[in-house]
Amino acid sequence: MFRPASRAALPGGQVLSQLCGGKVVDRWTADRVLAHSESGAHAIDNYRPAHGLCNSYRWSYSPEEFQRVLKIGVWARLLMEKRTALGETMLLGFFNYDRRRQARRHVRPEPPVRAGTTRSNRSTR
């Protein structure tokens, strides 16, 4: 489960993100090597540093699967930038998918302001 390369220190004490392999510079999150839903322990040996953005997009992919998804994404972007037929199809499909996803999001309306209060002075519980 633990690969020494995932803890590889860089000059200056920096470490690599276990998800994308990039340098972890300032802000990072603790990513689980083995997910809690897959019997991953709440133990220091089960955590590795990761970029927050990478960690939020990881879902339930293993680090190896996530790196493959990133590589596919880079390849897809290249095809889109070159305006190939496949790239155009992927781009249109993604925009349609994202439009449907955004339409499903439920935005909670703000509660009404009670008499005698303003939005800035009401309690936030």
Q: What is the pLDDT of residues 23-81, one digit of tens each?
A: 887 777 777 777 767 767 778 877 778 888 777 777 777 778 888 988 999 999 999 99
Full-prediction pTM beyond 0.75? no
> How far, in whole angstroms, is CA 52 from its chain's centroid?
6
Nearest partner of 31 among 59, 70, 67, 68, judged by Cα: 59
Question: Would you state the pLDDT for residue 10?
Answer: 45
Element (H, E) at 47: strand 47-50
Closest CA to 4 of 22, 20, 16: 16
76 or 3, higher pLDDT:
76
- The pLDDT, as a whole number, for residue 62 is 77
Tell me, what's the pLDDT at 1?
37
For the segment 78-120, what is each residue's pLDDT rounded down to a tens digit? 999 999 999 999 999 999 998 998 888 776 667 777 766 665 5
For the segment 2-13, the average pLDDT, to the nearest whole number, is 46
pLDDT band at 4 (very low <50, low <70, confident <90, very high): very low
The alpha-helical segments, DSSP class H, found in the chain are: 52-58, 63-81, 85-104
3-class secondary-structure state, position 9: strand
